[in-house]
Amino acid sequence: MLSTDELLKVYRLQGLIELAREDKQGAIYATIRMVTIDPDAPPSPDLGPEIAQLQQSWAGRLSEAKISLVVTGDGDAWVDGRAIGGSDAPTVAVAGEHLVQAHDAQGWHAVVQELDKNTRVQVGTGLKLVAVEAGTPPPPVPVFTPAPPHPPPPLVPKAPGPFARPHRTSLLVVGGAGVAVGAGALIYGLALEHQFHQDDYLRPAFGDCQRGDPCYPDARAKAIRDDATTIRALYASGYVVGGLGITTLGMELFVLPAPTAGGGSVGLRGTW
């Protein structure tokens, strides 16, 4: 399960990457996610003045939009890494996009969901998340009476829809591989960053420089910089490769002409 601190680190790093790419809207989105996760968290000095200014601005705008979260059913649920209580101890959060994680008899479940004062979310198989305006008592849990059984309807052959057509297997493979590699790079980067923050870098030697040698402090500093560069590169490559994979899949599924048996096309698909 992802913790609150780990989620904050991901979106802080995303904000820095978007600023480096000169994508102001992307940086604003990452900042809004930081504020939504924890509006009271102080700006990290490592993020620079631009992210700090954005975070202070959006914290003032969003911190008043509070909601109460209640979970019912058999199991446990978390919002952005914080446990969600029952009707006797609701959890207060900021309205907006949140990571909801749950564990029940069927295992672990997770969904990114926009939560406001009128949200009802089924999480997993036996858990229901209810969000209301902060300070408002949650509605009573409804009691459902099972309907009498009905015979199944007769099977009717389904007419092929606009998406029932062959695909370019190579593009599907390339797009899927891009998404998988991008996600793997992000997960690996997150693991390395966690290890990076736990490492005190007080090893007996760095390269040929032993502890006590004049070159030891410079070698230690270089090792720290190299590890930080590797983590940033993993995050950057994860976003880029994953984005390219998603774009490739979207092009094949929704934009490119349908291939014929001879390799040509029979027309464009689209929704009007």
Question: So what's the pLDDT on residue 262?
Answer: 46
Query: What's the rounded Cα separation, in Å, for the pair 154 and 143?
Result: 31
pLDDT of residue 49: 79
The neighbouring-strand residues paired with 168 are none
How far from 192 is each of 152, 184, 195, CA to CA, in Å?
A: 53, 12, 5
Token output for 5: 């601190």
Q: Tell me the chain's radius of gyration from C-alpha atoms.
A: 24
> Which pLDDT value is given to residue 154?
67
Q: Which amino acid is at 4?
A: T
DSSP labels, the chain? ---HHHHHHHHHHHHHHHHHTT-HHHHHHHHHHHHHH-TTPPPPGGG-HHHHHHHHHHHHHHTT-EEEEEEEESSEEEETTEE---TTSPEEEESEEEEEEEEETTEEEEEEEEE-TTEEEEETTTEEEEEEETTSPPPPPPPPPPPPP-PPPPP-PPPP-TT-S---HHHHHHHHHHHHHHHHHHHHHHHHHHHHHH-----SEETTEETTSTTHHHHHHHHHHHHHHHHHHHHHHHHHHHHHHHHHHHIIIIISPPB-TTS-B-------
Half-sphere exposure of 220 (CA within 13 A, CB side): 15
- The residue type of 84 is I
Domain boundaries, the chain: 4-62, 66-133, 169-255
Matching residue, tokens 């910089």: 225
Rounded distance between C-alpha atoms, residue 197 and residue 191, angstroms: 10
Q: How many CA atoms lie within 13 A of 243 on its CB side?
A: 6
Instruction: Give the whole-angstrom CA distance, residue 176 versus residue 187.
Output: 17
Q: What is the pTM of this model?
A: 0.46
**Side-chain half-sphere exposure of 258, counting CA atoms within 13 A:** 12
pLDDT at 80: 87
pLDDT in tens, the chain (272 residues): 778 888 888 877 787 787 777 888 888 888 888 888 887 777 777 777 787 788 777 777 776 778 888 888 888 888 888 888 887 788 888 888 888 888 888 888 888 888 888 888 888 777 888 877 766 665 554 444 455 666 666 666 555 544 455 666 777 777 677 777 877 887 888 888 888 888 888 888 888 888 888 898 888 888 888 888 988 888 888 888 878 878 876 776 666 666 655 444 434 444 43
How much is the pLDDT for 152? 65
Residue with structure tokens 């420089």? Answer: 209
Q: Which CA distances in Å does 217 have to 8, 46, 228, 236?
A: 31, 22, 17, 29
